Structure 1
Amino acid sequence: MPIQVARHLRREITEGRLSGSMPGVHTLAAELGVHRATVDAALRALEKQGFLIPQGVGRRRLIRLPEDSRAKIRLRVGIMLYDPQDKDLPFMIDLRHRLLEAGHAPHFAKRTLSELSFDPERLAPVVKKSETDAWIVLAGSREVLSWFAERTIPVFAIFGGMLRLPVAGGGPAKALAFRQLTRRLLELGHQRIVLLSDSPASHEEPGLLAGAILDELAKAGIATGPYNVPGWDGSPDGVRQTLDRLFAATPPTALLIDGVLPFATAQQHLSRHGIHAPQDVSLICADPDPLFEWNQPTVAHVGWDIAPLIRRAIRWADNVAQGKPDKRKILPQAKFVDGGTVGPAPR
């Protein structure tokens, strides 16, 4: 049994899922469902093989790759997620598998951006302690990506505030789709249109996407303000509280919600209060999800093809591994996909 545990942990190390320091015996025994003695024997075996460096009683062993193992890995790629659950996103699973197939060693950072409050000062020690050759950052704020851009370590930004920064990356160009969906809502008689996003710019200095909606509303002669981009704190409770505030006074007739999980939370919360789409409010998700076609009614959303972005990330990793500078971005065009959750403005 110790041999199997050692083999499993060695694979986790060589593929980059374990780095820095090895979790303690008690933690590993609980995670793997084996006796502590078995884990202890496996760790001692890894010490002899050169994968672990003991630090004394009560201190975690350091993880390192022996030179013969290190040569087999082209690039150690750290993945900095937005939220912990993002590791289960289908495209993230696909990206990780594609990196492994290309001979790289991807691993998730021990903390996510949301857990670090998007604070570069808190981010710095996490990056410093990680044995990583390059980083992929998911939905990083402009401040976070600017911090990465100032370092020598290569970075690839997936979504987030990457525009006009000297980093490689990619994400859908949504501005045109936002204009399309706003015009569609205006045609259906909607005037109280709200963008619910956890990182909106203020009304005084709107971001590109919020600005697209506000601009179309202004062209239609509709006054805009903070009501149209209220924002929230990024939590499920924040979604529910924001919705309660919106519908308590001047209920929106249409809601554009940024993110699949916030959309599901909002749809469920509104339904519990007897508010349904599209008869009471039109609902649009700013991101795609394969399940939307299976919903009844089908969900209106902003869609794009993620495949080119994944291919670009793999090409970037290959270039970095070969020592080639690569800061090119790819911005696939998104489109508005109408669905059953959009209807005429309620009277």
Structure 2
Amino acid sequence: MKTKAFSTPKLPQRLSLVAQTVESLYEGIRNGHWQKHLPGERELCESLQVSRRTLRPALEELQRKGWLEVSGRQRRRIKSRSSSKVENARKKTIGILMPGSFLSLPSRISFVMDTLRAKLTAAGCVVQFHINPACYTANPGRVLAQFVAEHPGMIWIVLSAQEPMQRWFSRQKLTCLILGSSAPGISMPSVDVDFHATCHHAGGLLWRKGHRRIALVLHKGIYGGDIASEEGLRDALKGMPGAHIQVLRHDTTTSHLCILIDECLRLPNPPTAYLVGGATHALTVAMHLMRRGRRIPKDVTVLSRDNDPILDAASPTIARYAIQPAQFASRVALAVRQLAETSTVPADAIRLMPAFVSGESI
């Protein structure tokens, strides 16, 4: 009997960042994103979110493969184009729209973005980062229309989108995934932490610890996740005798947040617990309370709704809720790939429940 020969399967490989950059540039050339010449190195570094130290070897690799040539002025001319269907390639181009620099993101979000880029690139997608704060104004329609027209055929991942921006994308019926929570009344694919369940759990926990006056610290901007946070906390304490919630909305500056805390401390019955949105703001709250002579947790409790490695260095350690960034990135990548293949994701928003991490502040 003749035996069947089996070849050894090819081992999976982890692509280096240079290799991922080569693939992104290659796909961008194939799908016609750049015409005749590539942009300058600074623009490419911003778009692909890599350093020049990573970009230059990738460009040299494309030159060796005959896709680029350098003119006398050091402009890189595109030499050839693939015969693949342009539209099919464009369907795999993922644009990530952000209000600010990659370096300004919280470390956990930076990790999510880096992991997401690796997963999508390995799946054959081109990932391009776009920083455009003008898209994040109260009336972004004109700027968004021009911006999207300049980048046709993309699947969009949008970070930190408030209601006006979400409504525009919803009206245009563009293929878009909100990295965060949709605003009330807006039905869009989104992936976020389950802030309602998180703050519902926090409310019950603080109640059991004897806290009746709780301050909820949030940004001034109205984000879907912050709305869900307030609703979750109120639902947890609804009907509880003596329960009082005070919402403090700050402008993200340390000085304004400290002013709001000082105002609370001057009340006849100040809050005995602070539930804080944003890990760095939780650290600010804790430090300012101690500066004002409040002992943590003997006099007051601080609980962070979000996690960040910086909280590991705090003393006393800050209790918080933490979701694994790799888990979050994997779930986003899965939703994006589904969007790329079918232009749809499940109608229900994707919400992930973080784990409670105990600390000395509670």
Flag whether TM exceeds 0.5 (same fold).
yes
Match in the other structure for 2:319: 300
Match in the other structure for 1:176: 197
Between the two proteins, the alignment pairs up a number of residues equal to: 311
Counterpart-to-counterpart distance in 2, 1:28 and 1:171? 29
Asked if 2 retains the 8 angstrom alpha-carbon contact of 1:197 and 1:258, the reply is yes
Match in the other structure for 1:55: none
Mapped pair 1:244 → 2:262: yes
Q: Secondary structure at the match of 2:215?
A: strand
What one-letter code is carried by the residue in structure 2 that aligns with 1:47? R
Counterpart-to-counterpart distance in 2, 1:339 and 1:185? 13
Q: Secondary structure at the match of 2:127?
A: strand
Asked if 2 retains the 8 angstrom alpha-carbon contact of 1:76 and 1:132, the reply is yes
Match in the other structure for 1:101: 122
Asked if 1 retains the 8 angstrom alpha-carbon contact of 2:99 and 2:131, the reply is no
Asked if 2 retains the 8 angstrom alpha-carbon contact of 1:200 and 1:210, the reply is no
Of 276, 279, 282, the residue aligned with 2:301 is 282
Counterpart-to-counterpart distance in 2, 1:20 and 1:269? 51
Counterpart-to-counterpart distance in 2, 1:32 and 1:162? 38
Percentage of matched positions with identical amino acids? 21
Of 75, 79, 83, the residue aligned with 1:49 is 79
Counterpart-to-counterpart distance in 2, 1:190 and 1:48? 65
Match in the other structure for 1:337: 357
Q: Secondary structure at the match of 1:47?
A: strand
User: C-alpha offsets along residues 229-282 of structure 1, whole Å, 9 cap, x if unaligned?
Assistant: 121223444333333333344542211111123223333444444445323421
Moved more, 115-124 or 248-257: 115-124
Mapped pair 1:230 → 2:251: no
- Structure 2 residues not aligned, in runs of 5+: 1-18, 46-50, 54-69
Of 286, 297, 313, the residue aligned with 2:332 is 313
Q: Aligned pair in 2 of structure 1 residues 172, 180: CA closer, same or farther (>3 Å)?
A: same
Counterpart-to-counterpart distance in 2, 1:194 and 1:272? 18
State how 1:98-247 maps to structure 2 within 5 Å.
98-112=119-133, 116-117=136-137, 119-121=139-141, 122-131=143-152, 133-161=154-182, 165-199=186-220, 207-222=227-242, 224=244, 228-247=246-265
TM-score, normalization by structure 2: 0.68
Match in the other structure for 2:113: 92
C-alpha displacement at 1:136, in angstroms? 0.9
Asked if 2 retains the 8 angstrom alpha-carbon contact of 1:14 and 1:69, the reply is no
Asked if 1 retains the 8 angstrom alpha-carbon contact of 2:304 and 2:318, the reply is yes
Match in the other structure for 1:3: none
Counterpart-to-counterpart distance in 2, 1:312 and 1:28? 27
Asked if 2 retains the 8 angstrom alpha-carbon contact of 1:96 and 1:106, the reply is yes
Q: Aligned pair in 2 of structure 1 residues 307, 27: CA closer, same or farther (>3 Å)?
A: closer
Asked if 2 retains the 8 angstrom alpha-carbon contact of 1:183 and 1:216, the reply is yes
Q: Aligned pair in 2 of structure 1 residues 10, 186: CA closer, same or farther (>3 Å)?
A: closer
Counterpart-to-counterpart distance in 2, 1:200 and 1:26? 31
Q: Aligned pair in 2 of structure 1 residues 15, 111: CA closer, same or farther (>3 Å)?
A: farther
Counterpart-to-counterpart distance in 2, 1:93 and 1:26? 19
What one-letter code is carried by the residue in structure 2 that aligns with 1:46? R
Counterpart-to-counterpart distance in 1, 2:43 and 2:130? 18
Q: Aligned pair in 2 of structure 1 residues 128, 27: CA closer, same or farther (>3 Å)?
A: closer
User: C-alpha offsets along residues 284-306 of structure 1, whole Å, 9 cap, x if unaligned?
Assistant: 11112345456443321123345
Structure with bigger strand share is: 2
Match in the other structure for 1:80: 97
Counterpart-to-counterpart distance in 2, 1:201 and 1:177? 18
Counterpart-to-counterpart distance in 2, 1:74 and 1:139? 24
Counterpart-to-counterpart distance in 1, 2:20 and 2:322? 39
Asked if 1 retains the 8 angstrom alpha-carbon contact of 2:217 and 2:277, the reply is yes
Counterpart-to-counterpart distance in 1, 2:165 and 2:266? 36
Match in the other structure for 2:279: 260
Asked if 2 retains the 8 angstrom alpha-carbon contact of 1:176 and 1:334, the reply is no
C-alpha displacement at 1:108, in angstroms? 1.8
User: C-alpha offsets along residues 12-65 of structure 1, whole Å, 9 cap, x if unaligned?
Assistant: 74476xx78976689899x859xxxxxx95865422536xxxxxxxxxxxxxx8
TM-score, normalization by structure 1: 0.71
Counterpart-to-counterpart distance in 2, 1:26 and 1:99? 23
- Structure 1 residues not aligned, in runs of 5+: 1-6, 34-39, 51-64, 343-347
